[in-house]
Amino acid sequence: MKDKVYKQILGQIESLGGLVFLVIDPPNQDPKVAGQIAKVAQKAGVSAICVGGSVGAQGAILDQTILEIKAACDLPVLLFPGNIASISKHADAIYFMSMLNSLDPYYISGAQIASAWPVKSIGIEVIPTSYIVVEPGRAVGWVGRAQPIPRNLPYLAGITALAGQFMGSKMVILESGGGAESPVPPEMVAFTKKMIEVPLVVAGGVRDEKFAYQTIKAGADIIHVGTAAEETSTDISLVEKTLSRIVTSVQKAGKEKLKNSEK
């Protein structure tokens, strides 16, 4: 079915109001551990697994990680590519991303041109995605030569996201960078969501259930959680507890958001 994963995401957003996607960066753990994390993530209520990172998520370790994840759970696996080598035929879909506020044309359109044929050749679902880096940006901002959106200027994120939608993006990601102290401010989330009609993802800095609740309540449709799980990955039971708390807070915020939209 065309756009199967994307349609599934839209359906879940409509019914739940907010989703949690777990981000697994292959170089950061053994593939078998990634599978174990994915298994407890599904049990905790996570909606999808994103695989990728700024550097190193490619080749055999990428394939092995995805295969272990798919053997351990039934969740869709989305590629979250950091470069043109972060492609695997074993995934279900790929964020086909353009970093709209990069200063380097390579990250806006060059990498996309270079990877378009390989992506088509492996036949996975493509989700056109606008990727917008917000301060501090961290590793992804440095690698992508981004001009990060200042955290105190919400309208810059909003109009950049709107431009991405007008150019055909089906999703928008506001990215503070993996390991950021906090996610995109609620004011920026709210303004950006008012500007666009496509799903809004907030990535980077969603460390706990408080940030998760605030971000979804402000208007985000999806949060990416990565560091919060990585920091506890040596204890799988603790990973499950951490993710369960975050999912519970997202579900609460989602229900409240849906209820408010009906008024």
Bridge partners of residue 75, in order along the sequence: none
Percent of the chain clearing pLDDT 90 (strictly above): 84
Between CA 254 and CA 106 the distance in angstroms is: 37
Going by pLDDT thresholds of 50, 70 and 90, the confidence category of residue 121 is very high
Supply the pLDDT for residue 54.
63
Per-chain mean pLDDT for the chain: 94
Strand partners, 125: 93
pLDDT at 233: 66
**Amino acid letter, residue 76:** P
Token readout for 221 is 């449709």
Tokens of 41: 């993530």
Rounded distance between C-alpha atoms, residue 28 and residue 230, angstroms: 8
- pLDDT number for residue 219: 97
What pTM value is reported for the model? Answer: 0.95
Is the per-residue pLDDT at 28 higher than 90?
no
CB atoms within 10 A of CB 105: 10
Q: How does pLDDT run across 210-251, given as a tens digit for each residue? A: 999 999 999 999 999 987 777 666 789 899 999 999 999 999
Residue 179 is predicted with a pLDDT of 86
Q: What's the CA gap between 56 and 53, in Å, rounded?
A: 7
